[in-house]
Amino acid sequence: MEMETLTPFTYWAQNDTFIFLKIELTDVKKSKVNITDKILKFDAIGTGVLGENRYNFTLEFYGLIIPEEYELYPKKMYLNFKIKKLQSKWWPRLLNVNKKPTWLKIDFEKWREEEDLDNIADDLEDEFINQDMINKSFNDFKNPDHINAFFKPNLVFFYDSLIFVNLLIFLVGLLIHNFNHKEYNIYQVFGVRMFLIQCLQGCEIIFVIMKKINKSWVYSLANVFSHIIMIHILCFYFIPKMQTKPLVFHLFLTWSLEGILRYPYYIISSLVKNNDTNTIQPINGILIWLRYTVWLIVCPLQYFIECLTLLRASKYYHGANYSLPFNPSSLINIYIILHILASIYVIKINFQKSQFSKRINKFPKLLS
């Protein structure tokens, strides 16, 4: 039966004059060495890590050697080469190519003198430092504590940033479409996008329950019910005629504007809670002004357009025959009254905060 040909583990070292190779083989038989001024070819039958097999390898050296002046001798568990360099100087590496095969290792027993250790700094860095960095990164990736330590404090920041970026892209697309098509087909083009963004906003309830956001879960749930259930489903899904009204553009415009004015404040708030106050100090005044001044103009306009949309839908439902287990018109009318009262309360609370913020010098206190 023909033996399998393998490559033995080989360890190397050097000084200014010689190259030292240590091949992990014992009981070597029929060894064959072919050496030139640049290349060493080794072939032998011996006992290695996988037992008795045929082992061979080829090395193309970085510099030139003297083929006639080499020694080959067994020692302990290894077969040793001592090869003389043509010029007495230090090689930056053993091989002519940068890439080192996996079976070729550094023989650290040869690096005993201090100057030798200095000369192989690059090799040690390749062998240890880079490997340690890879192992550390891999272990950090596997360690859930490291992952949680990074993501937990920043989870709300990532969430708010994701919504803000989506709203900004949505607003730009909405304005470009309106400029080119004059409010035509707004819901067919942007309805699903806005629905998905507001579903993402609805995930805020999870952060409220986890106490990552200092807000009432009732307020978050009311927003989800108002935008998704009452407007998207009852107004637009069950009444396709509503999708073609110019009111849709104004509704989507105020929704996106309100979020764009609100979410930067939330993003900065999450940074403040993570003690990154130096990062946001120069822009906190602008964001407070946007949150509690400009937003107080856009927010009532949004509530007003939402009420107009609900009233228009209520007229379509009135007297029409829809296969629903309840009277949509009555439900919408009741909801409009509750929506107006809730809107007045929200605007009042935020207006009080805007007056309060004028008497506060430091932004982090505003968030407490």
The answer to whether residues 241 and 335 belong to one domain is: yes
**Based on the domain organization, do 287 and 307 belong to the same domain?**
yes
For the chain, what is the largest distance between any 2 Cα atoms, rounded to a whole number of angstroms? 108
189 and 168 housed in the same domain: yes
Q: How many domains does the chain have?
A: 3
Distance CA 210, CA 204 (A): 10
- Say if residue 118 is in the same domain as residue 212: no
Spatial distance between the Cα atoms of 110 and 120, rounded to a whole number of angstroms: 11
Same structural domain, 100 and 178: no
Sign of the alpha-carbon torsion through 207, 209, 211, 214? positive
Residue 12: CB atoms within 10 A of its CB come to 21
Could you tell me which residues come within 8 angstroms of residue 298 by beta carbon, excluding any fewer than 6 positions away? 254, 257, 258, 261
Asked whether residue 220 falls in the same domain as residue 350, the answer is: yes
The half-sphere exposure of 244 on its side-chain side, counting CA atoms within 13 A, is: 3
Instruction: Give the N- to C-terminal CA distance of the chain in Å, as an integer.
Output: 80
Domain carrying residue 135: 114-142
CA dist 136 and 130 (Å) reads 10
Least confident of 265-279, 305-319, 340-354: 265-279
98 forms beta bridges with: none
**Residues 74-98: pLDDT tens digits?**
877 788 899 999 999 989 889 988 8
If asked whether residues 190 and 247 sit together in one domain, one would say yes
Where a domain ends, among 110, 128, 154?
110
Alpha carbons 195 and 311: distance in angstroms, whole number: 20
Do the beta carbons of residue 54 and residue 6 sit within 8 Å?
yes
Same domain, residue pair 228 and 342: yes
Q: Are residues 54 and 164 in the same domain?
A: no
Cα-flanking dihedrals φ and ψ of residue 360, to 5°? -115, 135
Q: In terms of domains, do 235 and 100 share one? A: no
Is residue 138 domain-shared with residue 196, that is, in the same domain? no
Q: Are residues 151 and 135 in the same domain?
A: no
Read off the pTM: 0.52
For residue 167, the model assigns a pLDDT of: 93
Task: Give the number of C-alpha atoms closer than 13 A to the C-alpha of residue 126, restricted to the C-beta side.
Answer: 13
pLDDT in tens, 39-82: 999 998 888 877 788 889 999 999 999 988 888 888 777 888 99
Asked whether the beta carbons of 126 and 44 are under 8 A apart, the reply is no
CATH number at 51 reads 2.60.40.790
Which sign does the torsion angle of CA 309, 192, 223, 330 carry? positive
Structure tokens at 287: 């964001």
What mean pLDDT value characterizes the chain?
A: 77
As given in the structure block, the two tokens for residue 44 are 């032998």
